[in-house]
Amino acid sequence: MSRSIKKGFFITLEGPDGCGKTTQALALKKRFIEQGKNVVHTREPGGTSFAEDLRKIILNPKHKISPTAELLLYEASRAHHTEEVIRPTLEKGGIVLCERYTDATMAYQGYGRGLSLETILTLNKIASGGIIPHLTLILDIPVKEGLRRARKLQEDGEKGDRLERESLKFHYRVREGYLSIVRNEPKRVRIVSSLGSREEVQERIWREVQRYGLG
């Protein structure tokens, strides 16, 4: 966490496509609210009007975007999101609950696309202003099951967004990227199985949160 931020608590939910981040983020937000805590639920790409417009561009399957251009769009979205939403909430002592953040860029653009991990680390640091989540929960799910769930949620027979339509090999690399992040940062990053009922996954997440004295 950036040294200038000392009050709030930053939680990110990560994982392969179809792992259930939104469902679990909303459930976790509800628990925090029931405890009277100030919590902001947000997402990447997105979280602000500007960043949501970028999200539509990045994920639109009609666009052919080079890996480098894709990376820079994600970082631009993050820079605006961090300054407009994340940093102000943390400075006020609130809890930020964010679906995807810098780890997603490492997993998708680093491991998935094969871009330089060193370059991504540098850009992540610039875009985030040095802010690092206190706790990152990676909701893990086998690739084929995750894609089945993600595509089942699509309307009108759509095959998913631009990233969901990538090859199985790409999604296997993304998942391995997330598992590598867990191995490299076991204190900050915790893995939670996304298999089972929503309630079972919710309880697994809550146990991890309680380890940090928030439950």
pLDDT tens per residue across all 215 residues of the chain: 554 456 899 999 999 999 999 999 999 999 999 999 999 999 999 999 999 999 999 999 999 999 999 999 999 999 999 999 999 999 999 999 999 999 999 999 999 999 999 999 999 999 999 999 999 999 999 999 998 888 776 644 456 789 989 999 999 999 999 999 999 999 999 999 999 999 999 999 999 999 988 86
Using the structure block, give the residue that is written with the tokens 């084929």. 144
Structure tokens at 145: 């099951």
**CA angle at residue 209 from 13 to 4, to 5 degrees?**
75
Separation CA 153–CA 126 (nearest Å):
34
- For the chain, list the domains and their CATH numbers: 9-210 (3.40.50.300)
- The answer to whether the beta carbons of residues 45 and 54 sit under 8 Å apart is yes
Q: Give residue 3's identity as a one-letter amino acid code.
A: R
* DSSP run (H or E) holding 121: helix 117-128
Global pTM reads 0.93
